[in-house]
């Protein structure tokens, strides 16, 4: 699966993933009004607004980027109707040729991780039939439970040609509270990084492994170290833009082949029309604003990584 | 919320939670056949089987225990129909007077954790209306991202009188891989335990905090230490029964007041009819077998903790 992501990154010349994290506050009023008119001010109404908003965004950016990353929490907050919108969004993005990274951050004991893997990137057999329930291409996974909580996800990736991005060093301000704790003089995230490399070693797909890592753009020095600890691991880098990470911080997340990382931006793209720089697009131009923000992000990042 | 759990533990004399983790292999054939006849061998058919199976279990045990703990992964594996069965199960359990611990192990950066908290234990406002999407009483949470990933959950607990159980030392064999790493001579899980106590300090509800911890029955020595580190923290203890934990291992998870812990069993109860000891109940007696298994578990645990 990582070979498909790399091929798409090369084809679009954009190591960029757009986070589809639809807060109600980001959605233009005209979309919400139309959805509420049809479904009322209900969970179904909110979910319809989310779906229409996403559809506009996906149509506007699908030729520019290799992948999208819907954050499932933003859909789960609207209960079942929200998850139906998540499911529709995943399917629509795949129809449009985008790879889908489900940002689900699941992780549990073995049998439970196996069930999550089945639901998100695997197949479930019911009698004589087989289904792929959510059918994402990649998902994010939490490593706190160790190898036996991760292995069922890795196994499903092997069976079904899918991929993972495992949390190593997260982008948030307090990520260091546990992740930076020193063990024999080295931070925990380095040990987690070593394990990610180990878990991925027999999951290669070309030059990179299907088992990737998450390292926040907000921690460029740690990214530099982790890049070396995990040379064949693709790194999903959140935290660019709204969270504070800049293009110039990102060079060290990439290998010398110009690959090895994909940078996520969510708010900075999908709610670009709310920024002064893109205000001219107006509410009804939210999708065009997102398109321009992707182009600007691409220039920023390629400027920083291509010397 | 923890005061409600304690009142129910006292009323039932059972510090026990039943894990509603319905694998298809546990569900009696007659239930699956009826569900497939109505909905086909589909995700909807599997979800109907899960729901009917759960309903039978809940009816059989609801007067014996204070709470149930549905593991959302077992529902997510059947996609949207599975999550509809999760939602129906939560609502039905609450109607039957049971408290519901949603075993969701969510956790992310601040704004995303806030969305998860909203969806599972909070309220979402849509126009002039307010909804409680999944409406569990407690949920489990993963601490890997640190304080700013936890605080949105704690805030929602305060606003909405709900509770958390935060992973500290998990029950699985490889939990020590990261959780036992020594930092200045003390394992990581002790630091996480200290943080859980700190996060819960201003969330008290009677003698205990609404912010609880998860510590596996399979690690009784660690449980003894964590009990002292987190004296006012209620501990959710998985790993009893099928995972290997015994009643005699559990005494140290409790405080001298006889409270402070609640022991989970899933497979050992809900699939009891598949064990030799309960085979006499047969497939159609699966719910009665579960009831007997709860009574036996209660005797085992109370025998161990009441001297």
Query: How many of the other CB atoms lie within 10 Å of CB of A305?
Result: 19
Q: Which residue of A has its CA nearest to B103?
A: A108
Contact residues on chain B for A113, CB-CB shorter than 8 A: 73
CB B73 to CB A119 under 8 A? yes
Contact residues on chain A for B109, CB-CB shorter than 8 A: 170-172, 238, 243
The answer, for B206 touching chain A at a CB cutoff of 8 Å, is no
**Chain A (96-135) residues lying within 8 Å, Cβ to Cβ, of chain B:** 105-113, 115-116, 118-120, 124, 126-129, 131, 133-134
CB B113 to CB A73 under 8 A? yes
Mutate to test the interface with A, among B114, B174, B214, B243 (most CBs of A within 10 A): B174
CB A177 to CB B147 under 8 A? yes
What is the least distance, in Å, from the CA of A102 to any CA of chain B? Answer: 13
CB B133 to CB A77 under 8 A? yes
Q: What are the distances in angstroms from CA B258 to CA A178, B137, B254, B302?
A: 32, 23, 6, 10
Query: What are the catalytic residues of B?
Result: 105
Nearest to B76 among A24, A116, A172 (CB): A116
What is the least distance, in Å, from the CA of A88 to any CA of chain B? Answer: 11
The pLDDT of residue B242: 67
What is the mean pLDDT for each group of 10 consecutive residues in chain B (307 residues)?
Answer: 98 98 97 98 98 98 98 98 98 98 97 98 97 98 97 98 98 96 97 98 96 96 96 95 75 93 96 97 98 96 82
Nearest to A109 among B78, B172, B183 (CB): B172
| Residue A249 pLDDT class (50, 70, 90 cuts) | confident
β-strands A124-126, A129-131 pairing: antiparallel
Query: Which of B283, B297, B275, B270 is CA-nearest to residue B21?
Result: B270
Q: Which residue of B has its CA nearest to A39?
A: B126
What is the least distance, in Å, from the CA of B182 to any CA of chain A? Answer: 6
What the block records as the tokens of A201 is: 């070693």
Contact residues on chain A for B110, CB-CB shorter than 8 A: 172
CB A172 to CB B145 under 8 A? yes
Work out the burial of residue B301: count CB atoms within 10 Å of its CB; fewer than 13 is exposed, 13-18 middle, 19 or more buried: buried
Beta carbons of B264 and B19 less than 8 angstroms apart: yes
The pLDDT of residue B243: 67
pLDDT exceeds 90 at position A239 = no
pTM across the whole model: 0.97
pLDDT exceeds 60 at position A307 = no
Q: Mean pLDDT throughout A54-58?
A: 98
Nearest to A41 among B105, B128, B175 (CB): B128
Q: How does pLDDT run across B47-69, given as a tens digit for each residue?
A: 999 999 999 999 999 999 999 99
Mutate to test the interface with B, among A42, A81, A178, A191 (most CBs of B within 10 A): A178
CB A76 to CB B120 under 8 A? yes
CB B80 to CB A76 under 8 A? no
The pLDDT of residue A242: 67
Nearest to A83 among B78, B80, B167 (CB): B80
What the block records as the tokens of A227 is: 């890049």
Q: State the SS3 of B20-36.
A: ECCCHHHCCHHHHHHHH
Write b or e for each residue in B215-228: b if 16 or more Cβ atoms lie within 10 A of its Cβ, otherwise e. Answer: bbbbbbebbebbbe
Q: Mean pLDDT throughout A271-297?
A: 97
Q: How does pLDDT run across A70-113, given as a tens digit for each residue?
A: 999 999 999 999 999 999 999 999 999 999 999 999 999 999 99
The percentage of residues in chain A with a pLDDT greater than 90, rounded to a whole number, is 94
Mutate to test the interface with A, among B178, B184, B188 (most CBs of A within 10 A): B178
What is the least distance, in Å, from the CA of B144 to any CA of chain A? Answer: 6
The alpha carbon of residue B278 and the mean position of all alpha carbons in its chain are separated, in whole angstroms, by 24
Contact residues on chain A for B142, CB-CB shorter than 8 A: 105, 107, 142, 144
The answer, for A233 touching chain B at a CB cutoff of 8 Å, is no
Contact residues on chain B for A128, CB-CB shorter than 8 A: 41
**Phi, psi dihedral angles at B248 (to 5 degrees):** -65, -20
The pLDDT of residue B306: 74
What's the mean pLDDT when you consider all of chain A? 96
CB B43 to CB A175 under 8 A? no
Q: How does pLDDT run across B106-158, given as a tens digit for each residue?
A: 999 999 999 999 999 999 999 999 999 999 999 999 999 999 999 999 999 99
Q: Outline where DSSP puts E strands in chain A.
A: 16-20, 67-70, 99-106, 124-126, 129-131, 138-141, 163-169, 182-183, 186-187, 204-205, 208-209, 211-215, 235-237, 261-265
Count of A-B CB contacts under 8 Å: 220
The alpha carbon of residue B139 and the mean position of all alpha carbons in its chain are separated, in whole angstroms, by 8
What is the least distance, in Å, from the CA of B257 to any CA of chain A? Answer: 31
Q: Which residue of B has its CA nearest to A190?
A: B178
The answer, for B147 touching chain A at a CB cutoff of 8 Å, is yes
Query: Which of B117, B105, B100 is CA-nearest to residue A104?
Result: B105
Nearest to B41 among A84, A127, A172 (CB): A127
ipTM over 0.95: yes
| Residue A306 pLDDT class (50, 70, 90 cuts) | confident
The percentage of residues in chain A with a pLDDT greater than 70, rounded to a whole number, is 98
The pLDDT of residue B10: 97
Q: State the SS3 of B154-211.
A: HHHHHHHCCEEEEEEECCCHHHHHHHCCEECCEEHHHHHHHHHHHHHCCCEECCEECE
Nearest to B124 among A77, A131, A178 (CB): A77
């Amino acid at each position: 699966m990582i070979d498909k992501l790399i091929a798409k990154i090369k084809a679009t010349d954009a190591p960029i993933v757009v986070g589809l994290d639809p807060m109600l506050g980001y959605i233009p009023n005209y979309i919400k009004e139309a959805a509420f008119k049809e479904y009322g001010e209900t969970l179904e109404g909110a979910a319809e607004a989310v779906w229409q908003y996403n559809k506009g965004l996906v149509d506007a950016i699908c030729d520019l980027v290799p992948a999208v990353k819907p954050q499932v929490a933003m859909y789960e907050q609207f209960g079942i109707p929200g998850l139906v919108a998540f499911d529709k969004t995943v399917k629509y993005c795949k129809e449009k040729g985008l790879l889908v990274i489900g940002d689900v951050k699941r992780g549990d004991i073995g049998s439970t991780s196996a069930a999550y893997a089945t639901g998100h990137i695997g197949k479930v057999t019911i009698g004589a039939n087989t289904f792929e329930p959510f059918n994402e291409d990649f998902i994010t996974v939490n490593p706190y439970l160790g190898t036996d909580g991760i292995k069922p996800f890795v196994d499903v990736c092997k069976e079904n040609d899918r991929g993972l991005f495992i949390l190593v060093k997260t982008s948030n301000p307090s990520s260091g509270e546990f992740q930076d704790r020193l063990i024999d003089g080295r931070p925990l995230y380095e040990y987690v990084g070593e394990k990610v490399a180990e878990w991925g070693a027999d999951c290669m797909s070309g030059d990179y492994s299907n088992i990737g890592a998450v390292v926040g753009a907000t921690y460029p020095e740690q990214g530099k170290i982790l890049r070396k600890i995990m040379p064949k691991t693709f790194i999903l880098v959140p935290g660019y833009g709204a969270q504070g990470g800049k293009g110039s911080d990102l060079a060290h997340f990439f290998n010398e082949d110009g690959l090895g990382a994909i940078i996520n931006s969510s708010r900075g793209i999908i709610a670009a029309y709310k920024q002064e720089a893109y205000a001219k697009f107006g509410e009804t131009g939210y999708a065009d604003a997102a398109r321009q923000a992707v182009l600007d992000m691409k220039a920023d990042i390629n400027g920083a990584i291509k010397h």
